[in-house]
Amino acid sequence: MAENATTHDDHWDTSTAPLIISVGILFLCLAFIFYFVYDSGLAAIISLGLGTPLIIGGIVIWVNETIDGESEGLSVPSMGWFILAEAMIFLSLFANYWLQRLLTPDWPPAGTPAAMPVVIPMIMTVFLVASSFTIHAGEARLENDDKAGFVKWLKITMLLGAAFLGLSLYEWGDLIGQGFTVSTNVYSTSFFSVTGFHASHVLVGLCIFLTMLLPALKNRINTGLVKAGALYWHFVDIIWFFVVSQVYFW
């Protein structure tokens, strides 16, 4: 939990959550290294199994500290910096995809299904865009002190986000069933890396929403957390437009 320290009237918030999240991200990077560089699936699975719960657990701890009023770490200003850092990671993934796309003579490369999904990503886009409107509607209800309305729209947002993830899993399963896996060719590696990284952000957003919903059901709502969480969700929505336009339709 967060510990408060005051020196010369300056207030400092400390938390173990960012460290936990950073270690989790390190394990995710190691998973990619073990799989693609050292061809060790077992080590990759172990690293992924360690990194994923650390990231989710760290976010839950961090958000819970904010709910309890012990820390202001997950606030709108800090979320802005976090989004900037995440945008740089996405940019590196897109840059790699653009490089492969432009330098590969025959595109799509051999091994790619003759018809990549078109309908499913469009439905996913509708769900994610709608979820941005629903979380905004929830914020509007909260500003009018309509807590029940906020909870209703938050639940709808979470359902739309969960539906998005469900369609992602269905799509991946169908592609893998056709033999299009992360190691099939350069396109498949970029495809699963970019869409998987975005899906992980949707999952994180749902975790943040869950930590909003549970206290809200007990009539405890942190408006700063709601604004930060909504800002993060809008970022996830905007990034999806780049994902779907680049890796699906270009």
CA angle 212, 218, 219 (to 5 degrees): 80
Residues 157, 210 contacting (CB under 8 angstroms): no
Which pTM value belongs to this model? Answer: 0.80
Q: Which residues of 175-194 are buried (b: 16+ CB within 10 A; e: fewer)?
A: beeeebebebbbbbbbbbbb
Predicted pLDDT of residue 10: 46
Residues 66, 224 contacting (CB under 8 angstroms): yes
DSSP H or E stretch at residue 141: helix 119-143
Nearest to 203 by CA among 183, 227, 230, 233: 233
In this prediction, residue 35 has a pLDDT band, given cuts at 50, 70 and 90, of: confident
pLDDT in tens, 66-94: 665 545 556 677 788 888 888 988 998 89
65-74, 112-121, 128-137 — which one is most confidently predicted on average?
128-137
- Alpha-carbon distance of 221 to 150, in angstroms, equals 10
Residue 4 three-state SS:
strand
pLDDT exceeding 90 applies to what percent of the chain? 45
β-strand partners of 5: 12
Nearest to 226 by CA among 125, 175, 157, 159: 157
Domain coordinates in residue numbering, the chain:
1-73, 75-248
Mean per-residue pLDDT over the chain, rounded: 86
In this prediction, residue 155 has a pLDDT band, given cuts at 50, 70 and 90, of: very high
- Alpha-carbon distance of 42 to 150, in angstroms, equals 44
What does the block give as tokens for 167? 């369609």
Predicted pLDDT of residue 4: 42
CATH topology of domain 75-248: Four Helix Bundle (Hemerythrin (Met), subunit A) (1.20.120)
Residues 15, 65 contacting (CB under 8 angstroms): yes
* Mean pLDDT computed over 155-177: 95
Positive or negative: CA dihedral 109, 114, 120, 121: positive
- Alpha-carbon distance of 67 to 222, in angstroms, equals 6
- Alpha-carbon distance of 87 to 93, in angstroms, equals 10
Alpha carbons within 13 angstroms on the beta-carbon side of residue 110 total: 0
CA angle 8, 14, 17 (to 5 degrees): 170
Nearest to 130 by CA among 168, 161, 169, 152: 161
Residues 190, 247 contacting (CB under 8 angstroms): yes
- Alpha-carbon distance of 65 to 82, in angstroms, equals 17
Residue with tokens 């940019």: 91
pLDDT in tens, 172-214: 999 999 999 988 999 998 999 899 989 989 988 998 898 889 8
